[in-house]
């Protein structure tokens, strides 16, 4: 690819303008899914094309970009997307949450609290929270318009009746400002409490499904639940074996074929920063002399 | 001691180098040229142009070479390139009436003005492997005959004159552009046809086949199938008139479907329409069957719940680039979601176990 042949951040300005309009509309109606004319990107649908288009529409040459997948900066697709913007936009990139002005993410919200002025861009596979209850787009749009969310509550209730608990562990539906039920993208429900009252702008891009939605800073976001079955964020009942963090979301790593396993922070920057500060976990490597 | 995996970037680079090597194959075998693919893999090139929505045989051939012959990958390359191209404007509608036909057949009439032309078809070939093609041979020569000079009118127009055919209505609005507007339901016919024209050949074929087997049956006759080249004309604002900017090869299929009438429409024949870039008659016929099946509503027919009658189902699932991207994305890491599912399953089992113990104790 000859980078000079493409516009800044790959997309042409008219396309960026179209996306920005959708973003502004999304910010004006938090949680509402705005249809947008998603473009064919040079990476496959389902691999973050929505997030990439939103990021491209937000980036300015002064921005500093962080890309994570599963909380990690070094997962292959995060590497690939970061490289894409290094080549097409030439922006600075970072692995440190605090240094980034734009963070594109798949499946996680960084552990470190975001601040005003930061933008968090989510990659969204299925933007419609009602999709698996009602496959028809024409129906689900009507349900949102009429605020007809009974089906969702029935589903959650049936979960409790059948399993004793709500059997949704990721992409856990939320209600935004008391109006729209929204899919937070497949983040673990552990991350749901970070959606609400967040200082950063949160933007959601679904490329294949041609939808954009948004949460302005400090938006009220409530995970759906019942009074007698309150929402419970959950994580593995361990501390990080590398940095000792007790309150971070953990990946389970299988270390041998005899049931050996360890738990490590899924947010690699969070874990590395803690270790740099001298914090240690159960299985931390010994200090190199 | 566990060390987190690093070096994704190096792994990606090495994988791509390996891919390039594998693409080339045995270097002792001469490399394929783009011209060879364009000239000798024409139907693959045509499919890539049609589903890539870009009429450029050289680029399609390049995409096929780069994609190691994976046509969906090649279509993807073309689509991604196409999006970056500036739009100068829209061409005038192509006049398929004036097509220079290389193939033109009708299954509804034995003889028709303009004649039946078989053209370069696989029809009536016996599907026996031709081992002679394994050796280099001379370029074969077909018998020649001067091109027809008489006009080749659309056959359905002839039925139209007798009023037996559903009349064609000229739409007023500029048709929507699927590549510039999000696909929203309900989709009108121009939008449906656009989606089908770039839809996956296999998907559209299977949908069409399902209508033949009874899922939304609309028995179709191929009124006419024609393949040939058409001039593409464009209005140039500075000139004030249309000029020909090139020629494209098209496959057009019009089906005639029996229709016994409904509350709103008298008994008559109705139409299904397919138009595909390049020579791609399987796709064009399939498209016309699916188009007809999707028209149940406007014709006042019964919706039997057949998949091919369901515009939302057909249109949202016919694009192979969307489908393959989403399908293949499940090979990306899902550690986080999977971990949350692990927690949930463990919790549910723990709770169930506690319950069983309690019951046993009681």
Structure tokens given for B276: 């595909």
B242 & B100 share domain: yes
Ranking A2-11, A13-22, A23-32, A106-115 by mean pLDDT, the lowest is A2-11
pLDDT at position B1: 43
Residue A51: both structure tokens together: 């997030």
Question: Is B321–A45 a contact, with Cβ atoms under 8 angstroms apart?
Answer: yes
Q: What is the model's pLDDT at position B35?
A: 97
List chain B residues with CB under 8 Å of A236: 339, 342-343
**Opening angle at CA B74, ends B72 and B77, nearest 5:** 115
In a domain, B155, yes or no: yes
Contacts of A76 (CB under 8 A, 6+ apart): A69, B8, B11, B12, B332, B333
B254 and B282 share a domain? Answer: yes
Contacts of B315 (CB under 8 A, 6+ apart): B183, B185, B187, B191, B192, B195, B196
Q: Is residue B190 domain-shared with residue B289, that is, in the same domain?
A: yes
- Please give the positions of A annotated as active site: 31, 240, 243, 265, 271
pLDDT the model gives residue A146: 97
Query: What digits encode the pLDDT tens for the residues B117-155?
Result: 899 999 999 899 988 888 877 888 888 887 777 778 888
**φ, ψ (nearest 5 deg) of residue B91:** -80, 165
Report the gap between the CA of B53 and the closest CA in chain A (Å): 12
Query: Looking at the complex, does the CB of residue B14 fall below 8 Å from at least one CB of chain A?
Result: no
ipTM higher than the 0.85 cut: no
Q: If we measure between CA atoms, which residue out of A183, A188, A189 comes closest to residue A202?
A: A183
* Residue B343, burial from CB neighbour count under 10 angstroms (0-12, 13-18, 19+): buried
Give the bridge partners for A120, in sequence order: A103, A202
Q: Helices (DSSP H) in B295-319: which residue ranges?
A: 311-317
Mean pLDDT over all residues of chain B? 89
Phi, psi for A205 (deg, rounded to 5): -120, 125
- A94-98, B47-51, B104-108, B193-197: lowest mean pLDDT where? B104-108
B320 touches chain A (CB under 8 A): no
Phi, psi of B88 (to 5 degrees): -85, -25
Do B60 and B37 belong to one domain?
yes
CATH superfamily of domain region A3-223: Bacterial phosphonate metabolism protein PhnH (3.40.50.11310)
Decide if A211 contacts A218 (C-beta within 8 A).
Answer: no
* Res. B362: pLDDT tops 70: no
Greater confidence (B239 vs B74) lies with: B74
Of A40, A186, A235, the CB nearest to B343: A235
What H or E segment, with its residue span, contains residue B52? helix B42-52
Mutation choice for A interface testing from B5, B7, B8 by most A CBs within 10 A: B8
d(CA A39, CA A45): 10
Would the CB atoms of A74 and B344 count as touching at under 8 Å?
no
Most B CBs within 10 A among A13, A37, A45, A236, hence the mutation to make, goes to A45
**Inter-chain residue contact B347 with A70, CB threshold 8 Å:** no
Cβ atoms within 10 Å of B90's Cβ, excluding its own? 11
Given a cut of 50, whether residue A153 has pLDDT beyond it is yes
Q: Which one, of B285, B281, B191, lies nearest residue A37 by Cα?
A: B191
What per-residue confidence (pLDDT) applies to B77?
A: 95
Q: Do B102 and B78 lie in a common domain?
A: no
Question: Could you give the maximum distance between any two Cα atoms of chain B, in Å?
Answer: 96
Within a domain: B177: no
Q: How far away is chain A from the Cα of B240, in angstroms, using its nearest Cα? A: 27
Residue from A44, A255, A275 whose CB has the most chain B CBs within 10 Å, to mutate: A44
B79/B101 same-domain check: no
Which residue matches tokens 């493409």? A6
Q: Which residue has the tokens 């998907």?
A: B203
In terms of domains, do B213 and B106 share one? yes
Question: Rounded CA gap, A173 and A186, in Å?
Answer: 10
- Is-contact A243 A265, C-beta < 8 A? yes
Distances (CA, A) of B121 to A54, A57, B282: 47, 48, 11
User: Which range has highest mean pLDDT (A203-217, B82-96, B140-154)?
Assistant: A203-217
Neighbouring C-beta atoms of residue A165, cutoff 10 Å: 16
In 3D, which of B18, B81, B69 has the Cα closest to residue B45?
B69
- Evaluate whether residue B257 is within a structural domain: yes
Which of chain A's residues have a Cβ under 8 Å away from the Cβ of B86? 12
Q: Does B134 touch chain A (CB under 8 A)?
A: no
> CA–CA separation, A119 vs A100, rounded Å?
9
Question: What is the mean predicted confidence (pLDDT) over A77-91?
Answer: 93
In this prediction, residue B166 has a pLDDT band, given cuts at 50, 70 and 90, of: confident
**Predicted confidence (pLDDT) at residue B168 exceeds the cutoff of 90:** no
User: Residue B322: CB partners within 8 Å, gap ≥ 6?
Assistant: A45, A208
Cβ-contact A102, A121 below 8 angstroms: yes
How high is the pLDDT of residue A3? 55
A108 touches chain B (CB under 8 A): yes
- Specify the 3-state DSSP secondary structure of B114: coil
More confident of the two residues B237 and A106: A106
Residues B50 and B156 in one domain: no
Same domain, B247 and B285: yes
Same domain, B217 and B278: yes
Nearest to A200 by CA among A105, A83, A134: A105
Domain ranges of chain A: 3-223, 235-280
| Cα angle A178-A179-A181, degrees, rounded to a multiple of 5 | 100
The boundaries of the domain holding residue B109 are: 96-120+149-168+182-324
B15 touching A, CB under 8 A?
A: no
Identify the domain boundary among B324, B340, B355: B324
Number of folded domains in chain B?
Answer: 2
Set of chain B residues whose Cβ sits within 8 Å of the Cβ of A46: 325-329
On whether the CB atoms of residues B259 and B265 are closer than 8 A, the answer is yes
A44 and B329 within 8 Å at the Cβ level: the answer is: yes
In this prediction, residue B7 carries a pLDDT of: 62
Residues 231-250 of B with CB under 8 A from A: none
Please report the pLDDT score of residue B191 as a whole number: 93
Would the pLDDT of B16 be above 90?
A: yes
Q: Does B348 touch chain A (CB under 8 A)?
A: yes
For A107, the token pair is 């499946």
Q: How many angstroms separate the CA atoms of B185 and B187, rounded?
A: 5
Helix (H, G, I), strand (E, B) or coil at B330: helix
Complete DSSP assignment for B213-242: TTTT---EEEEEEEEEEEEEEEEETTTTEE
pLDDT tens readout for residues B24-66: 999 999 999 999 999 999 999 999 999 999 999 999 999 999 9
Token pair 């190199």: residue: A288
The verdict on a CB contact (< 8 Å) between A46 and B344 is: no
Any bridge partners for residue B256, and if so which? B221, B271
The whole-angstrom separation of Cα B104 and Cα B223 is 10
- pTM for the model stands at 0.88
Distance (Å) from the alpha carbon of A30 to chain B's nearest alpha carbon? 20
Strands B268-277 and B241-259: antiparallel
Residues B101 and B195 in one domain: yes
The proportion of chain B whose per-residue pLDDT surpasses 70, expressed as a percent, equals: 96
User: For the CA atoms of B110, B294, B80, A26, what is the dihedral angle to 10 degrees?
Assistant: 160
Looking at the structure, do residues B191 and B100 belong to the same domain, yes or no?
yes
Pairing of strands A174-176, A221-223: antiparallel
Q: What whole-number distance in Å separates Cα of residue B259 and Cα of residue B224? A: 18
């Amino acid at each position: 690819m000859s980078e000079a042949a493409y516009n800044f951040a790959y997309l042409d300005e008219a396309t960026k303008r179209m996306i920005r309009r959708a973003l502004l509309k999304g910010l004006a109606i938090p949680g509402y899914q705005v249809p947008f004319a998603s473009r064919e990107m040079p990476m496959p649908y389902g691999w973050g094309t929505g997030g990439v288009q939103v990021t491209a529409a937000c980036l300015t040459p002064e921005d500093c970009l962080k890309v994570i997948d599963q909380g990690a900066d070094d997962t292959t697709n995060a590497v690939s997307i970061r490289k894409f913007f290094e080549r097409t936009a030439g922006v600075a990139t970072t692995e440190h949450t605090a240094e980034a002005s734009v963070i594109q993410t798949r499946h996680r919200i960084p552990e470190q609290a975001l601040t005003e002025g930061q933008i968090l861009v989510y990659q969204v596979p299925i933007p419609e929270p009602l999709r698996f209850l009602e496959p028809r787009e024409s129906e689900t749009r009507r349900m949102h318009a009429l605020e007809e969310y009974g089906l969702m509550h029935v589903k959650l209730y049936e979960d409790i009746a059948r399993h004793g608990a709500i059997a949704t562990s990721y992409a856990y539906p939320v209600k935004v400002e008391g109006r729209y039920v929204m899919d937070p993208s497949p983040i673990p429900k552990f991350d749901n409490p970070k959606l609400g009252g967040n200082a950063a702008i949160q933007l959601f891009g679904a490329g294949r499904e041609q939808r954009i939605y948004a949460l302005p800073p400090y938006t009220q976001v409530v995970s759906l639940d019942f009074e007698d079955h309150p929402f419970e964020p959950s994580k593995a009942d361990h501390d990080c074996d590398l940095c000792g963090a007790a309150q971070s979301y953990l990946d389970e790593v299988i270390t041998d074929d005899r049931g050996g396993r360890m738990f490590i922070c899924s947010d690699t920057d969070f874990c590395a920063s803690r270790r740099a500060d001298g914090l240690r976990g159960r299985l931390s490597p010994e200090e190199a002399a | 001691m566990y060390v987190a995996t690093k070096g994704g970037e190096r792994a990606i680079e090495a994988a791509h180098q390996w891919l390039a090597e594998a693409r080339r194959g045995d270097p002792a075998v001469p490399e394929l040229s783009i011209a060879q693919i364009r000239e000798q893999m024409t139907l693959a090139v045509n499919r890539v142009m049609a589903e890539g929505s870009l009429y450029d045989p050289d680029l399609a051939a390049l995409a096929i070479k780069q994609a190691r012959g994976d046509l969906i990958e090649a279509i993807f390359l073309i689509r991604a390139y196409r999006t970056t191209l500036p739009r100068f404007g829209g061409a005038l509608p192509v006049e398929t009436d004036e097509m220079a036909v290389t193939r033109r057949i009708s299954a509804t009439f034995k003889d028709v003005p303009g004649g039946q032309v078989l053209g370069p078809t696989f029809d009536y070939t016996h599907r026996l492997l031709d081992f002679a093609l394994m050796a280099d041979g001379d370029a074969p020569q077909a018998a020649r005959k001067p091109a027809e000079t008489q006009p080749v009118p659309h056959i359905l127009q002839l039925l139209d004159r007798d009023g037996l055919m559903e009349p064609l209505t000229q739409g007023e609005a500029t048709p929507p552009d699927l590549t510039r507007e999000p696909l929203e339901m309900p989709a009108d016919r121009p939008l449906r046809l656009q989606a089908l024209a770039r839809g996956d050949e296999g998907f559209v074929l299977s949908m069409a086949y399902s209508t033949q087997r009874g899922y939304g049956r609309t028995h179709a006759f191929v009124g006419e199938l024609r393949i040939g080249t058409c001039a593409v004309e464009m209005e140039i604002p500075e000139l004030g008139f249309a000029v020909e900017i090139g020629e494209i090869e098209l496959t057009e299929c019009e089906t005639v479907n029996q229709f016994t009438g409904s509350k709103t429409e008298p008994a008559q024949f109705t139409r299904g329409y397919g138009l595909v870039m390049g020579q791609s008659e399987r796709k064009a016929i399939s498209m016309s069957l699916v188009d007809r099946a999707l028209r149940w509503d406007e014709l006042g027919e019964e919706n039997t719940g057949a998949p091919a009658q369901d515009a939302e189902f057909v249109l949202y699932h016919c694009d192979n680039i969307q489908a393959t991207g989403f399908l293949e994305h499940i090979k990306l890491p899902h550690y986080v979601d999977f971990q949350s599912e692990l927690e949930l399953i463990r919790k549910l089992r723990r709770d169930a176990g506690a319950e069983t113990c309690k019951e046993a104790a009681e």
